[in-house]
Chain A
Amino acid sequence: EAGVTQSPTHLIKTRGQQATLRCSPISGHTSVYWYQQALGLGLQFLLWYDEGEERNRGNFPPRFSGRQFPNYSSELNVNALELEDSALYLCADRGGGRYEQYFGPGTRLTVT
C-alpha cells in the first residue's frame, strides 16, 4: 500500500506570510497527526485530526491551525510566519488497528 504523502517537499516563505502544508494518510486511515521538528528541539506534537475533527493540539499558538477533509487528507496552515517557524513539518497516520504512527517524508519550511 502507498504510504503517507506530503506536499510540498520544500517551502520558502518570508516573515509575516502564510504557509499551507498538505498531507494524505494511507487509504482508509482516518487519523492524521502533525509534528514540528525544529533544529535542536526534537519532534513536537502540533495537531491531531480524526474523522474530520480536531481531537487534540499541542502547546502551539493559534496561528497554527488546520483541517481534515472528508477523504481524510489534511492541511496545516501557519499564519503570520516567524523565523522560528523554520522546521521540518511531519505528518503521521495511525490506522489498521496499530498503535504506532507512520510518518510521511515531511515538508521543509524555511522562513526568511
Chain B
Amino acid sequence: GQNIDQPTEMTATEGAIVQINCTYQTSGFNGLFWYQQHAGEAPTFLSYNVLDGLEEKGRFSSFLSRSKGYSYLLLKELQMKDSASYLCAVRDPQAGTALIFGKGTTLSVSS
C-alpha cells in the first residue's frame, strides 16, 4: 500500500526555525517532493530529493533518508507569509509518474 504521514498542524513564531516531518511507506520510490499551498491557491513547488541528504534552497532545506522512509522540510527565519500548508509527496513508479500526497501540515506563524 501507500501511506504518507505528516503532522496536521504546527505553530511557530516569526524569526524561528521549524521542522516539518514526513514519513512514507510506498511500494516503490522515485523521489520526494515538498510543496507549499496558501489557502485558496494552488500548490507551488519547493524542493525535490531523490538521494539521501540535505538540499538547501535559501531559507528552505529538505532532507531525505530513504532507508528510514523519512523526510523533513526545514524553514528558517520564519516570516508571516510562510503561514500555509506544506505538502509532502512521493513519486511511486507503481503509480506511473503521478505524485502520492500526504494530507499536508498547516503551519501558522505568529508575531
A residues touching B (Cβ–Cβ < 8 Å)? 31, 33, 35, 40-45, 48, 55-56, 58, 90, 94, 99-106
Contact = CB atoms under 8 A, between A and B. Distances in A.
Contact of A45 (B42, B50, B98): B98
Given A42-B87, A43-B87, A103 B44 contact: yes
Contact of A44 (B43, B45, B101): B101
Given A44-B101, A104-B42, A56 B33 contact: no
B42 A100 contact: no
A24 to B, nearest CB: 14
B90 to A, nearest CB: 11
Nearest to A106: B42
A41 B33 contact: no
A33 B98 CA distance: 7
Given A103-B42, A103-B44, A106-B42, A45 B87 contact: no
Nearest to B98: A45
- Range of interface residues on B (Cβ < 8 Å): 20 to 34
A101 B45 CA distance: 7
Contacts of B101: 35, 42-45
A42 B104 contact: yes
B58 interface: no
A102 B45 contact: yes
A60 to B, nearest CB: 12
Contacts of B91: 99
B99 interface: yes
